[in-house]
């Protein structure tokens, strides 16, 4: 076949081209058929038409590739597409015919469709794609079939990794448009462009959807999943749940938190009152149904942190992401980075200001952050827990406890710099005497208001008990309503339809059992709560006139004393001045009180050695070792700080703790020499010097109890090396005595 010569614009001209196609069929003889077709069109158009009529890519298939398997990858992005987009699935399965047409047998074709309902944005979580890549890597695949690039991967990284592996193993890739060999530059270029376009297509789809969401969110019209206590009306507006039991449970959570200041105490109160909390099923066949169960701590925190309960519309509180394993993660976003915040968007369960105050209180309760937050009142004996401020740096001080003889003693410590910077503790002050002084101040302030406080507490307890009783009664009414509904359904069914009647009868019996259980729980809770309520009333009436007795009553929990203190005290600033603790107490009403307390002598200081004894040890170190000093101190009847006798180790610890000069250093400062220095001065070995000291030829000054000695510099009468060496010790000793006698005699003459 020949094409007409043309200039650069020849392809744009209309020419009449005669195309001759030769078809050779071999049976027993060769038959040549010549067909002449006249096509009117441009040269490029005719060339493309003819190339389409030829078997595209058939020459790329080799015998080695035909010996390997053919892998057909089938995927839909969601289960909804799997159910509804059946035509796309059929087209993907139909690619088996393309593989058979290229020469693969039916038994060689492996269909991988385990990733149905999985997104192609990432290879994580797609077991089918991972299996496909592994088969290609092992050289078992001769061809990979997919309807289009987006079915295999919508991520350029995953797609190009598959292309590289296919190029290394000589695996072909076939899609709806044609057959490609990744080893060929042109084919790899086309496949790379297709992968890039697939990823860009996914980005555009997401951007279009995201833009619509953001537009509606900025107007406050985006429909989102609502927390328990809210529903959408017919106009998609956010309104409170019409179920009074649901609304009452949510309102009780916020009321209890306002009273206790602790999410855990809210959970404890619900459990003590035997109350349940509602939740709606989010997914599955029972989606939207209301269920009741015990209140959990995480659910209380979810309610308190959610601004929807304050009547605000919020979008962008959390940012989604994925881990390296493909697991979805969500992180909280700071408030200033929220996409949308519209206050007074709908009716709230509390004001926005109250919601912000709850957030600050929850943050202060998180004492585990190491920031020295106030925290909720707890059971420890520290009265001022969370109220103490360091007078040095202005940070809040935390509480630490010391145990002595089964009693806990609180200490107030400023630990922020020590935790964050690894520095020393800023300030540490004992708290037992301070707590007692502040308690007296609190009691003096409470005396005029004791009766009023008792009456308010009584009213609050009564209202809380009535609310709990109302919620429990609501559970009984709800169970009775379900039983009545089951009864009406059973009576409305045809009696001859026994299959349906038996099922409805079982539902009715189950509803009746729920009514019985709800009534039993209600009566049991009422009987348990009534005596307790009466006991509390009697106790408050008895102790209202004597607030000191109420405070000192052993049955009063320490947590309640702390709550009383927090009602009156704003904060307490502690400063150590010389040997005194100065406490600046700020009361809620604006009054200020200054308390001055002596610093208690800690156990460590009470166990310290008396200064006179330390001075005596310093003096004795001039002429004695540690063991000798211990003997002298014990002979004088002196004792350590703990009342124990002295030992050489205790003397050493005193020397180190009080930084006394070591005896060795004192002797060296006098000019005494070590073994090596003395031996070098007279020209002998250290061993010789040691022998001389041991036999008494020279005198050594001990500086410890482990044969450590120093020596005075050698004088004119030191032992002579030439005389002393090589002579028996008895002869050397006699010669030394004779020399001394002769010297004495000459001196006398």
Residues serving a catalytic function are 77
Beta bridge partners of 396: 389
Angle between helices 244-260 and 297-305 (to 10 degrees): 90
CA distance 105 to 66: 9
CA distance 286 to 280: 9
CA distance 154 to 139: 24
Beta bridge partners of 144: 71, 173
**What would the two tokens of residue 295 be?**
């209140």
**What would the two tokens of residue 400 be?**
């630490």
Residue 419 parent element (H or E): helix 416-420
Do residues 610 and 618 lie in contact, with contact meaning Cβ atoms separated by under 8 Å?
no
**What would the two tokens of residue 40 be?**
């009117």
CA distance 404 to 415: 23
Task: Find the angle CA(624)-CA(628)-CA(632) to the nearest 5 degrees.
Answer: 105
Nearest to 118, CA basis, from 79, 152, 91: 79
**Number of residues that make up the chain:** 749
Do residues 54 and 23 lie in contact, with contact meaning Cβ atoms separated by under 8 Å?
no
Nearest to 56, CA basis, from 180, 178, 200, 188: 178
CA distance 647 to 526: 70
Do residues 437 and 597 lie in contact, with contact meaning Cβ atoms separated by under 8 Å?
yes
Token pair 């630490």 is at which residue?
Answer: 400
CA distance 360 to 381: 25
**What would the two tokens of residue 259 be?**
């009273």
**What would the two tokens of residue 455 be?**
């009456």
Beta bridge partners of 388: 572
Radius of gyration of the chain (CA): 47
Q: Which residues have a Cβ under 8 Å from the Cβ of 11 and sit 6 or more positions away?
A: 42, 43, 44
Torsion of CA 466, 469, 471, 477, to 10 degrees: -130
Do residues 123 and 155 lie in contact, with contact meaning Cβ atoms separated by under 8 Å?
yes
**What would the two tokens of residue 302 be?**
């979810």
**Distance from CA of residue 22 to its chain's centroid?**
74
Q: Is the dihedral of CA 258, 262, 264, 269 positive or negative?
A: negative
CA distance 581 to 412: 12
Backbone angles phi, psi at 102, to 5 degrees: -85, -5
**What would the two tokens of residue 585 be?**
């107490």
Nearest to 428, CA basis, from 462, 400, 406, 448: 400
Angle between helices 611-620 and 648-657 (to 10 degrees): 100
**What would the two tokens of residue 241 be?**
């749940």
Do residues 339 and 217 lie in contact, with contact meaning Cβ atoms separated by under 8 Å?
yes
CA distance 284 to 416: 49
Nearest to 710, CA basis, from 661, 660, 675, 658: 675
């Amino acid at each position: 076949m020949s094409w007409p010569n043309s200039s650069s614009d020849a392809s744009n001209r209309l020419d009449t081209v005669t195309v001759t196609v030769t078809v050779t069929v071999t049976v027993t003889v060769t038959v040549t058929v010549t067909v002449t077709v006249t096509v009117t069109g441009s040269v490029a158009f005719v060339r493309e038409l003819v190339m389409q009529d030829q078997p595209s890519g058939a020459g790329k298939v080799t015998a080695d590739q035909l010996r390997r398997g053919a892998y057909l990858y089938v995927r839909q992005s969601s289960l909804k597409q799997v159910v509804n987009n059946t035509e796309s699935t059929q087209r993907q399965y139909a690619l088996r015919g393309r593989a058979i047409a290229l020469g693969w047998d039916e038994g060689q074709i492996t269909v991988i469709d385990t990733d149905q309902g999985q997104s192609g944005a990432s290879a994580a979580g797609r077991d089918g794609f991972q299996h496909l890549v592994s088969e290609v890597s092992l050289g078992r695949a001769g061809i990979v079939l997919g309807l289009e690039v987006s079915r295999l991967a919508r991520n350029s990284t995953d797609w190009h990794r598959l292309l590289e592996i296919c190029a290394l193993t000589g695996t072909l890739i076939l899609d709806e448009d044609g057959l490609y060999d990744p080893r060929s530059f042109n084919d790899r270029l086309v496949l790379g462009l297709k992968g890039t376009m697939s990823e860009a297509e996914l980005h555009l789809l997401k951007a279009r959807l995201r833009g619509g969401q953001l537009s509606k969110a900025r107007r406050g019209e985006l429909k989102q999943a609502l927390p328990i206590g809210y529903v959408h009306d017919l106009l998609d507006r956010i309104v409170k749940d019409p179920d009074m039991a649901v609304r009452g449970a949510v309102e009780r959570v916020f009321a209890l938190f306002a009273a206790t200041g602790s999410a855990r105490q809210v959970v404890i109160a619900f459990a003590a009152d035997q109350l349940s909390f509602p939740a709606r099923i989010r997914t599955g066949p029972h989606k939207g149904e209301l269920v009741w169960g015990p209140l959990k701590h995480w659910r209380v925190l979810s309610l308190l942190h959610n601004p929807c309960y304050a009547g605000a519309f919020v979008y962008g509180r959390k940012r989604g992401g994925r881990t390296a394993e493909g697991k979805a993660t969500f992180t909280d976003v700071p408030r200033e980075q929220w996409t949308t915040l519209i206050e007074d968007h709908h009716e709230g369960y509390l004001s926005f200001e109250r919601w912000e105050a709850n957030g600050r209180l929850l943050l202060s309760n998180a004492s585990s952050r190491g920031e020295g937050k106030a925290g909720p009142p707890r059971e420890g004996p520290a009265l001022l827990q969370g109220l103490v401020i360091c007078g040095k740096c202005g940070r809040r001080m935390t509480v630490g406890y010391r145990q002595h003889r089964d009693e806990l003693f609180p200490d107030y410590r400023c630990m922020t710099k020590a935790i964050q910077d690894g520095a020393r503790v800023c300030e540490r002050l004992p708290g037992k005497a301070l707590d007692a002084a502040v308690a007296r101040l609190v009691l003096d302030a409470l005396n005029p208001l004791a009766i009023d406080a008792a009456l308010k507490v009584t009213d609050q307890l009564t209202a809380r008990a009535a609310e709990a009783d109302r919620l429990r009664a609501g559970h009984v009414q709800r169970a009775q309503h379900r039983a009545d509904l089951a009864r009406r359904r059973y009576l409305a069914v045809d009696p001859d339809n026994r299959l349906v009647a038996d099922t409805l009868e079982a539902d009715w019996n189950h509803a009746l059992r729920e009514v019985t259980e709800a009534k039993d729980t209600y009566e049991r809770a009422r009987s348990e709560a009534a005596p307790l309520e009466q006991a509390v009333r009697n106790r408050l009436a008895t102790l209202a006139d004597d607030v000191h007795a109420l405070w000192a009553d052993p049955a009063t929990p320490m947590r309640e004393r702390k709550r009383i203190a927090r009602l009156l005290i704003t904060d307490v600033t502690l400063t150590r001045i010389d040997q005194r603790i100065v406490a600046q107490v700020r009361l809620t009403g604006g009054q200020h009180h200054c308390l001055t307390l002596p610093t208690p002598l800690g156990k460590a200081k009470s166990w310290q050695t008396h200064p006179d004894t330390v001075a005596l040890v310093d003096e004795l170190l001039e002429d004695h070792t540690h063991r000798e000093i211990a003997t002298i101190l014990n002979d004088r009847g002196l004792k350590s700080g703990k009342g124990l006798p002295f030992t050489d180790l205790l003397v050493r610890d005193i020397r180190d703790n009080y930084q006394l000069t070591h005896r060795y250093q004192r002797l060296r400062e006098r000019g005494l020499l070590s073994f090596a220095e003395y031996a070098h001065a007279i020209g002998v070995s250290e061993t010789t010097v040691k022998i001389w000291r041991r036999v008494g030829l020279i005198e050594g000054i001990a500086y410890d109890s482990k044969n450590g000695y120093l020596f005075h510099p050698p004088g004119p009468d030191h032992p002579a090396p030439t005389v002393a060496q090589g002579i028996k010790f008895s002869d050397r000793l006699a010669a030394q005595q004779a020399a001394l006698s002769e010297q004495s005699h000459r001196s006398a003459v």
